Amino acid sequence: MLLFRSGRSTCWGLLAWLLSVVLSVLITAPQVSAQSKGRKKKGLTPATPSGSPSEQNLTNIPLPIGHEAKGLVLPDFDANGRLRGKFEAGTAHRIDQEHVGFQHLKITTYTPESQPDLRIDMHTSVLDLKTRILSSQERTMIQRSDFNIAGDSVQFDTNSKTGRLIGNVKMVITDKSHLTTTPSPKE
Protein backbone atom coordinates (compact mmCIF):
# COMPACT_ATOMS: atom_id res chain seq x y z
CA MET A 1 0.00 0.00 0.00
CA LEU A 2 1.41 3.38 -1.02
CA LEU A 3 0.91 6.35 1.24
CA PHE A 4 1.76 8.84 -1.47
CA ARG A 5 1.04 8.42 -5.15
CA SER A 6 3.72 10.65 -6.58
CA GLY A 7 7.43 10.24 -5.94
CA ARG A 8 7.67 13.92 -5.00
CA SER A 9 5.61 13.52 -1.86
CA THR A 10 7.80 10.67 -0.72
CA CYS A 11 10.91 12.70 -1.42
CA TRP A 12 9.59 15.73 0.46
CA GLY A 13 8.49 13.53 3.34
CA LEU A 14 11.92 11.94 3.54
CA LEU A 15 13.57 15.35 3.35
CA ALA A 16 11.34 16.70 6.15
CA TRP A 17 12.12 13.67 8.31
CA LEU A 18 15.88 14.03 7.66
CA LEU A 19 15.74 17.75 8.45
CA SER A 20 13.97 17.06 11.76
CA VAL A 21 16.63 14.49 12.72
CA VAL A 22 19.46 16.92 11.88
CA LEU A 23 17.80 19.72 13.85
CA SER A 24 17.26 17.51 16.89
CA VAL A 25 20.93 16.48 16.79
CA LEU A 26 22.04 20.11 16.52
CA ILE A 27 19.79 21.17 19.39
CA THR A 28 20.95 18.40 21.75
CA ALA A 29 24.66 18.56 20.81
CA PRO A 30 25.45 21.67 22.92
CA GLN A 31 23.64 20.12 25.90
CA VAL A 32 25.65 16.89 25.58
CA SER A 33 28.98 18.70 25.26
CA ALA A 34 28.14 20.98 28.20
CA GLN A 35 27.18 17.94 30.25
CA SER A 36 30.46 16.19 29.45
CA LYS A 37 32.43 19.30 30.37
CA GLY A 38 30.46 20.13 33.49
CA ARG A 39 29.85 16.75 35.07
CA LYS A 40 32.10 13.72 35.29
CA LYS A 41 30.89 10.23 34.45
CA LYS A 42 30.86 7.55 37.11
CA GLY A 43 34.16 5.69 37.35
CA LEU A 44 36.28 8.68 36.35
CA THR A 45 38.50 10.26 38.92
CA PRO A 46 37.85 13.85 39.86
CA ALA A 47 40.15 16.27 38.08
CA THR A 48 41.45 17.80 41.29
CA PRO A 49 40.73 15.77 44.42
CA SER A 50 43.03 18.03 46.43
CA GLY A 51 44.64 21.35 45.81
CA SER A 52 43.72 24.10 43.41
CA PRO A 53 42.69 23.32 39.83
CA SER A 54 45.82 25.06 38.51
CA GLU A 55 48.13 22.92 40.68
CA GLN A 56 49.33 19.92 38.67
CA ASN A 57 50.41 16.98 40.77
CA LEU A 58 50.28 13.21 40.94
CA THR A 59 46.93 13.10 42.73
CA ASN A 60 44.87 14.14 39.70
CA ILE A 61 45.80 11.50 37.13
CA PRO A 62 43.01 11.54 34.50
CA LEU A 63 42.67 7.78 34.08
CA PRO A 64 39.35 5.94 34.62
CA ILE A 65 39.25 2.93 36.94
CA GLY A 66 40.12 -0.26 35.09
CA HIS A 67 41.56 1.50 32.04
CA GLU A 68 45.14 1.44 30.79
CA ALA A 69 47.23 4.16 29.12
CA LYS A 70 50.41 3.54 27.15
CA GLY A 71 53.31 5.97 27.04
CA LEU A 72 51.96 8.11 29.88
CA VAL A 73 54.10 11.09 30.95
CA LEU A 74 53.07 12.82 34.19
CA PRO A 75 54.74 16.04 35.37
CA ASP A 76 54.71 16.74 39.10
CA PHE A 77 54.77 20.40 40.10
CA ASP A 78 55.12 21.80 43.62
CA ALA A 79 52.90 24.52 45.10
CA ASN A 80 55.16 27.22 43.61
CA GLY A 81 54.79 25.82 40.10
CA ARG A 82 58.32 24.39 39.86
CA LEU A 83 58.81 20.99 38.28
CA ARG A 84 59.44 18.53 41.12
CA GLY A 85 59.52 15.36 39.03
CA LYS A 86 58.48 13.62 35.84
CA PHE A 87 56.97 10.12 35.61
CA GLU A 88 57.33 8.28 32.29
CA ALA A 89 55.43 4.99 32.23
CA GLY A 90 55.40 2.35 29.53
CA THR A 91 51.87 1.56 30.69
CA ALA A 92 49.72 2.87 33.53
CA HIS A 93 46.41 1.52 34.77
CA ARG A 94 43.98 2.77 37.40
CA ILE A 95 43.52 0.00 39.98
CA ASP A 96 40.95 1.85 42.09
CA GLN A 97 40.17 5.39 43.23
CA GLU A 98 43.36 5.59 45.33
CA HIS A 99 45.91 3.46 43.42
CA VAL A 100 47.58 3.59 40.00
CA GLY A 101 49.77 0.75 38.74
CA PHE A 102 52.75 1.34 36.45
CA GLN A 103 54.85 -0.88 34.19
CA HIS A 104 58.35 0.18 33.06
CA LEU A 105 58.31 3.40 35.09
CA LYS A 106 61.16 5.90 34.82
CA ILE A 107 61.11 8.79 37.28
CA THR A 108 63.29 11.87 37.09
CA THR A 109 63.29 14.20 40.11
CA TYR A 110 64.53 17.77 39.95
CA THR A 111 66.30 20.11 42.35
CA PRO A 112 64.72 23.48 43.27
CA GLU A 113 67.01 24.96 40.59
CA SER A 114 65.28 22.70 37.99
CA GLN A 115 68.34 20.50 37.51
CA PRO A 116 67.87 16.70 37.21
CA ASP A 117 68.58 15.02 40.56
CA LEU A 118 67.50 11.37 40.84
CA ARG A 119 66.71 8.83 38.14
CA ILE A 120 64.59 5.87 39.34
CA ASP A 121 63.83 2.81 37.19
CA MET A 122 61.06 0.42 38.26
CA HIS A 123 59.67 -2.56 36.37
CA THR A 124 56.29 -2.71 38.14
CA SER A 125 55.04 -0.36 40.83
CA VAL A 126 51.93 1.02 42.52
CA LEU A 127 51.36 4.66 43.51
CA ASP A 128 49.10 5.38 46.49
CA LEU A 129 47.46 8.69 45.55
CA LYS A 130 46.62 9.64 49.15
CA THR A 131 50.06 9.11 50.69
CA ARG A 132 51.96 9.62 47.39
CA ILE A 133 54.14 6.61 48.22
CA LEU A 134 55.30 4.56 45.27
CA SER A 135 55.95 0.89 46.04
CA SER A 136 57.58 -1.88 44.04
CA GLN A 137 58.26 -5.50 44.95
CA GLU A 138 60.75 -5.92 42.10
CA ARG A 139 64.38 -4.89 41.74
CA THR A 140 64.67 -1.11 41.47
CA MET A 141 67.62 1.08 40.45
CA ILE A 142 68.15 4.62 41.75
CA GLN A 143 70.86 6.76 40.19
CA ARG A 144 72.31 10.17 40.97
CA SER A 145 75.46 11.85 39.74
CA ASP A 146 77.45 10.59 42.73
CA PHE A 147 75.96 7.11 43.37
CA ASN A 148 73.93 4.17 42.06
CA ILE A 149 71.87 2.02 44.42
CA ALA A 150 69.62 -0.98 43.77
CA GLY A 151 67.40 -3.18 45.92
CA ASP A 152 64.85 -5.99 45.62
CA SER A 153 61.90 -3.84 46.76
CA VAL A 154 61.38 -0.14 47.39
CA GLN A 155 59.03 2.38 48.93
CA PHE A 156 59.58 5.88 47.57
CA ASP A 157 57.87 8.97 49.05
CA THR A 158 57.34 11.35 46.12
CA ASN A 159 56.73 14.31 48.46
CA SER A 160 59.98 14.16 50.42
CA LYS A 161 62.01 12.32 47.74
CA THR A 162 63.09 9.74 50.29
CA GLY A 163 62.96 6.01 49.87
CA ARG A 164 63.59 2.70 51.54
CA LEU A 165 65.26 -0.16 49.69
CA ILE A 166 64.90 -3.65 51.12
CA GLY A 167 66.69 -6.90 50.27
CA ASN A 168 69.96 -7.46 48.44
CA VAL A 169 70.85 -3.76 48.43
CA LYS A 170 73.93 -2.82 46.45
CA MET A 171 75.35 0.71 46.36
CA VAL A 172 78.18 2.04 44.22
CA ILE A 173 79.53 5.47 45.10
CA THR A 174 81.03 7.18 42.08
CA ASP A 175 81.99 10.53 43.67
CA LYS A 176 83.00 10.35 47.31
CA SER A 177 83.98 14.03 47.59
CA HIS A 178 80.45 14.80 48.85
CA LEU A 179 80.81 12.23 51.63
CA THR A 180 84.10 13.37 53.13
CA THR A 181 84.55 16.63 54.95
CA THR A 182 87.76 18.54 54.78
CA PRO A 183 89.33 19.25 58.14
CA SER A 184 89.23 22.90 59.12
CA PRO A 185 92.66 24.54 59.20
CA LYS A 186 94.05 25.07 62.69
CA GLU A 187 95.19 28.51 63.56
Nearest to 132 by CA among 155, 164, 154: 155
Taking the whole predicted model, whether its pTM rises above 0.75 is answered as no
**pLDDT in the model for residue 31:** 41
Which pLDDT tens digit goes with each residue over 16-45?
444 444 444 444 434 444 444 444 433 333
Spatial distance between the Cα atoms of 181 and 77, rounded to a whole number of angstroms: 33
Top-level CATH class of 68-178? mainly beta
pLDDT value for 94: 93
List the chain domain ranges.
Answer: 7-37, 68-178
> 118: closest CA among 103, 129, 130, 108?
108
| 3-class DSSP assignment, residue 145 | coil
pLDDT mean over 106-121: 91
Q: Which one has a higher pLDDT value, 129 or 178?
A: 129
